[in-house]
Structure 1
């Protein structure tokens, strides 16, 4: 068997011997179809496909009919207002839990299954090319992952549109997106998370090749995703945060501000693609070096794991240094001036929305001249960094009125720059969850609202 594999590899590199009979090569497309059929014939893959195409829609439709909403989840407070909010709530959950688990089940097992079944010899005799086997398996796994992601998008969007309707969506800075604009940005947000999903899938391929039938290989993408989530919850410098592909799972938030906060998103996508390429190349090189002659072979071992981990660790370090140099970003990226601008902008947009609800005279953001004065609860504490102790006093002006309006908000800012502002008076502005409108009670947009601080923006805008 060793001689056969060696001869095949030499034939791929130098062509067949002149005196030997040429063996027809099995096209990659045929091997790909074979591997894809093997994957979708597994009951757990079929169950995942069915769940991804049905469960999100049922969940979004059910939540949209309830009186309580997941207000702690981004865009959760708007699930009664528009069907597009449900797709974004699903996206937030998918980036945290669903997509890492799906890539583990698919990519983390695509090579290890052959080790468990002991079928490598039969596959090599049939295909006669480790390179084609690797390409076919990687493409088949990618196809299934894309099918699962497509199901999540289609199901959650359809469930929201059927249950709630195609209505405008409130962005993260309070501005109103038309249904067409909301649809485009929702689809774009889902497209953006394909990059970190590919990175996790590549890590799954690497674990499947390096660890063989070990359960650790199957769980590797989920474990890596969990580690990156924990890192995103820590007060790390913004450059280190952006150097991890997990940030791309949350950087799509920047699409829903005006202007869009594209810097962190583009960096997150680029980092994720670099991780995908690096992990895939490492898995490919390890696969070519493995011994297929031993039925008891259980992966290349610890040395291979080290060889796969070191390039990713080096990539993270180089990326962090490159982001620091290119953007000049230091510290957490959450500064007083940025928080004040974000809070004032969101309040101005939402105040206009409340004005329309109450049928008051129309007013523009320029006329309101909204400002915010924010601190972290005490002048002795530096007003920077994440925390739930931010306090903002928002002021605005109405045309023809000399008195200045003020409202107080308590802000909880997470390390990734997202914040939730909770109204603390006066009651006429943000003191109640509902406001009484001519058409009946409606949610008060100024009671609580979400916002986003651009971590890469300068403090002067």
Structure 2
């Protein structure tokens, strides 16, 4: 029996409907012990993790929003999102989508399934939809559990954004929810790659490895000094582009590009998996896939769409090179410093002052001025100046910046001690964390002018 024999046109036998086949495949998935354990872990473990970390004296300050986990419950789900995009979601899609077709090859149940459903197309649709349902359930569990853990352990306080502007609890809730929703797009692209690997490689365990390997390759690419167009043309960029939601104004262009690219990859990989599934021969009980077909019908089309996407993005956006330049860093640092200076002013019960009256400016160099001031690196040094009303002498503060290729930077205060040289400040009510000592920022890679 082949895929061309068991079609929708079999005389005297009506194919099983897609909803009925979908329910059957969904029951098969959730009846597996490993899937149940994954669902349970995704709905419980993040809450315990966020609650436990939020009560520790040492916070994951090297993680985005990690330094704010003591201050607000909305930081917890963002820390979990950063970890999930790097490790958890690729592994989850591997276990669910990367094995949904290969398991039938290992068990030798294709003939029974084809006789029961009588339509390879409907079998593929049912399995793909069942995998999608479980993946969405797992992502929802991560989001809801981490949010509940943060709010219960810390509370519903305002959140400091990546440009240090303060988000109200209501605004923070909406952006956290939107960030998790945006991360669903690259998750779907990895799940589609898992479907493709499961169909193409048959019983081979390599199908399980494709989503995490693809995610790892995209992460490595994001760490390299690649041009902006190449960076945005990979679905993995959508796992970090949600950072733009937490600036004012929000950086929507990279976010929308990342989501669109991820959905295009998801649709293409799913279509390729469906085409290969309909063309395969089910008469062989030991189907292990074809390496040649995996390359020609699986890998090459994805490489082609990546190259096409790079060309489209390069033509549609003016930014070239790394997208990280001196002007952008100075502007981002000055904006964040102004917001945090006002926060420190409130801590110390000093007279309030607006950003406009502070007139904060930053002057940054890279490599002590020996190299061109652009691109990622931990050798950025910046001097921030500001003016207090009624004071003739401008205040200055020094920062060492570590700028990553995706536009995130960590500013480390280097004095004076009274401003940003120590992690605590003495307030009228006791010592408190100094918001100007270390903070995160974000540089938008896209710009309205060409960047070298």
TM class by shorter-chain length?
A: over 0.9
| 1:180-191 aligned within 5 A | 180-191=170-181
Match in the other structure for 1:273: 263
Q: Does 1:433 align with 2:431?
A: no
The aligned runs of 1:382-401 (5 Å cut-off) are 382-401=372-391
C-alpha contact (below 8 Å) 2:222/2:405 kept by paired residues: yes
Distance 2:295 2:449 in 1: 43
- Name the structure 1 match of 2:4: 6
CA distance in 2, matches of 1:439, 1:149: 42
Partner residue, 1:163: 153
Which 5+ residue runs of structure 1 have no aligned equivalent? none
The equivalent position to 2:352 in structure 1, one of 362, 368, 372, is 362
Cα 1:460–1:134, aligned 2, differ >3 Å: closer, same or farther? closer
Partner of 1:30: 20
**Partner of residue 320, structure 2:** 330
* 2:294 aligns with one of 304, 309, 319: 304
How far apart, CA to CA, are the structure 1 residues paired with 2:450 and 2:392? 29
2:121 to 131, 143, 156: 131
Residue 411 of structure 2 corresponds to residue 421 of structure 1: yes
> 1:318 & 1:386 partners in 2: Cα distance?
26
Determine the C-alpha separation between the residues in 2 that align with 1:391 and 1:249. 28
For residues 206-225 of structure 1, the aligned pairs below 5 Å read 206-225=196-215
User: Does the 8 Å contact 1:290/1:299 carry over to 2?
Assistant: no
Q: Which residue, out of 252, 255, 258, partners 2:245?
A: 255
**Residue 44 (structure 1) aligned with residue 42 (structure 2):** no
Offset from partner CA, 1:403-459 (integer Å, 9 cap, x none) = 100000000000000000000000000011111222322111000010000000246
- Cα distance in 2 between the residues matched to 1:46 and 1:428: 53
Give CA deviations for 1:50-80 in whole Å, capped at 9, x if unaligned. Answer: 1101111001000100101000000000000
In structure 2, runs of 5+ residues without a counterpart are: none
Report the TM-score, using the length of structure 2 for normalisation. 0.98
Residue 386 of structure 2 contacts residue 394 of structure 2 at CA under 8 Å; is this kept in 1?
yes
Give me the whole-angstrom Cα distance separating, in 1, the residues matched to 2:351 and 2:13: 82
- Partners of 1:291 and 1:367 lie apart in 2 by 74
Which residue, 49, 52, 59 being the options, matches 1:62?
Answer: 52
Q: State the distance in 2 between where 1:102 and 1:380 align.
A: 46
Secondary structure, aligned partner of 1:86: helix
Looking at structure 2, the residues matched to 251 and 90 of structure 1 have their Cα atoms a distance apart, in angstroms, of 15
- What per-residue deviation string (whole Å, max 9, x for no partner) do you get for residues 381-424 of structure 1? 10000000000000000111111000000000000000000000
Give TM-score, length-normalised by structure 1: 0.96
Kindly indicate whether the alpha-carbon contact (under 8 Å) linking 1:71 and 1:77 is maintained by their aligned counterparts in 2: yes
1:315-354 Cα distance to aligned partner (Å, 9 max, x none): 1111111111100221000000000000000000000111
Structure 2 distance, partners of 1:127, 1:419, is 54
Q: CA deviation at 1:300?
A: 4.0
What are the equivalent positions in structure 2 for 1:81-120 lying under 5 Å apart? 81-120=71-110
Say what the alpha-carbon RMSD is for the aligned residues. 1.3
Give the 3 Å change call, closer, same or farther, for CA 446–459 of structure 1 in structure 2.
farther
Counterpart-to-counterpart distance in 1, 2:276 and 2:133: 22
Corresponding residue for residue 294 of structure 1: 284
Contact 1:337 / 1:459 at 8 angstroms: preserved in 2? Answer: no
Describe the SS at the equivalent of 1:283: helix
Match of 1:194 in 2: 184
CA contact (8 A) 1:329 1:456 kept: yes
Structure 1 equivalent of residue 273 of structure 2: 283
